[in-house]
Amino acid sequence: MTQTNSKNSGPKIAGLPARRAALRMLDAVMRRGETLDQAEKSALSGVNAPADRALARAIVGETLRWLTDLDALIDSATKKNLPDDAKARSVLRLMLAQALRLETPGHAVVATGLGLLAGGPRKLAHGVFSAVMKREVSLPDVPTLPDRVLARWEERADMIAPGLIHPPEVDLAMKDRSEAGERALSMGGVSLAPGHVRLPRGTPIEQMPGFDEGAWWVQDLAAQIAPALLGEGSGKRALDLCAAPGGKTLALAAAGWRVTALDISEKRLEMLRENIGRTGLEAEIVKANALTYTPDAPFDAILLDAPCTATGTARRHPDVLHRVGPRQIGETTELQQSLIYQAVEWLPKGGTLLYAVCSLETEEGEAQAAWAEETFDLKRAPITADELPAGLQPTKEGWLRTHPGMLADEGGLDGFFMARWVKL
């Protein structure tokens, strides 16, 4: 329970640093267009207690997840709508998210919320919050998506939104796929596909059984499908293009491929090196710009997990619902086409290209696959149902489209698009 001092204001209010950090993160996302990961770096500076850091992330995560509905409640209690960028609106968003989603006691919400408005419209914020809560309101069963997201996702929006109610559980990919059933049983989880284990949220990753011995790595169920679609490597060469943080590299190496993992980010590659060392798997790691890199020899297979808007990760990164628009989609589609061109060049005849994006935008998925087939000598290698977790089906084109509303009874999965070809 959050405790406050007798004045209900000032820096001595217990829990106030976490709320200040949440407000800074919300501002960075909504006003500057930063990702939550980017916003955390500066916003959490000085917030040292793990519980406070986790609380700040939870508050802003739930605020962004339910932002449209929170704003509707705020507007229902004011004669004149507050400006979208008004500090009072941002603080009220955080207050209502705590009360309605995190079940924070009302007195703690008020004390910490008003503490964020020192010298500001505290009376207004208190009045609006009290008016809303006196009506004993509740949020809808499913988050209301922003208008521009509804316009882009169209009829799919109603299927996707139910998958965004909660942050995702923890998915593990087994180094030895045959261990999945036993590991799931011993760790209190479930296995939804060969080599996969799903666990409830809350356990620190480093404390889970098998971490130190490198028996698994964290990877969303949908992301685990991509390397599996290349099958067993049997010593053949594979390129994981745009590889970091490396889950697909590890999966390819575990499946017997001789993997080259290429990425431009040294910091992200360091995460890959740590996981390679922990799991005892092998891969050649190359720091290079994929648009200027020249391989020594062609690859038998290339997995292009292309940079994208990442709207498919909205379960854990709800900021994408509010900061991604036509400009970001246009920028990523141009880069994706350049990377597809490079990948096709590096394949010999008969080589396999797997294209994947964790995006829900058709411009980054279906449209790119159609463009690739029109532009290059590629033969579609249709994805089949028996290659997928139970409950998933390929599209009529033989591509794969997943979204967070799928497998909802089992906890859902990220949104991905995947297509596979053989070079002619």
Average pLDDT over residues 322-329: 96
Q: Which of 413, 391, 343 lies closest to 166 in space, CA to CA?
A: 413
Give the single-character DSSP code of 165.
S
pLDDT at 100: 97
Confidence of residue 8 (pLDDT cuts 50, 70, 90): very low
pLDDT digits 0-9 by tens, 135-190: 999 999 999 999 999 999 999 999 999 999 999 999 999 999 999 999 999 999 99
**Residue 229 DSSP label:** T
For 333, other C-beta atoms within 10 Å of its C-beta total: 21
What is the pTM assigned to this prediction? Answer: 0.93
Catalytic residue set: 358
110, 32 Cβ separation under 8 angstroms: no
* Predicted local confidence at residue 12, as pLDDT: 66
Q: For residue 64, what are its two tokens?
A: 């962004």
Give the rounded percent of residues in the chain with a pLDDT score beyond 70. Answer: 97
Q: Out of 31-40, 204-213, 412-421, give the one with best mean pLDDT.
A: 412-421
pLDDT at 235 over 90: yes
Q: How many CB atoms lie within 10 A of CB 411?
A: 20
β-pair partners for 355: 304, 419
**Do β-strands 170-174 and 196-199 pair in parallel, antiparallel, or remain unpaired?**
antiparallel
Identify the pLDDT of residue 3: 42
346-371 burial code (b ≥16 CB/10 A, e <16): bbeeebbbbbbbbbbbbbbbbebbee
| CA pair distance 381, 230, nearest whole angstrom | 11
Q: pLDDT tens digit string along 268-324?
A: 899 999 999 999 999 999 999 999 999 999 999 999 999 999 999 999 999 999 999
pLDDT at 65 exceeding the cut of 60? yes
Using one digit for the tens of pLDDT, what is the confidence trace for 363-415?
Answer: 999 999 999 999 999 999 999 999 999 999 999 999 999 999 999 999 999 99
Mean pLDDT computed over every residue of the chain: 94
* Percent of all residues in the chain with a pLDDT value above 90, rounded to a whole number: 91
Q: Is the pLDDT of residue 5 over 60?
A: no
The whole-number pLDDT of residue 347 equals 97
Torsion-angle region of 46 (φ positive above 0: left; ψ -120 to 50: alpha; else: beta):
left
**Residue 9: is its pLDDT beyond 90?**
no
Would the pLDDT of 7 be above 50? no
Q: 245-260: string of b/e by CB count within 10 Å (b at 16+)? A: bbbbbbbbbbbebbbb
Distance from C-alpha of 264 to C-alpha of 293, rounded to nearest angstrom: 10
The residues facing 240 across adjacent strands are: 261, 303
Centroid of chain to Cα 127: 36
What is the C-alpha R_g of the chain?
Answer: 23
Is residue 354 over pLDDT 90?
yes
pLDDT at 230 over 50: yes
118 band by pLDDT with thresholds 50, 70 and 90? confident
- Contact call for residues 165 and 61 (beta carbons, < 8 A): no
Distance of alpha carbon 158 from the chain centroid:
19
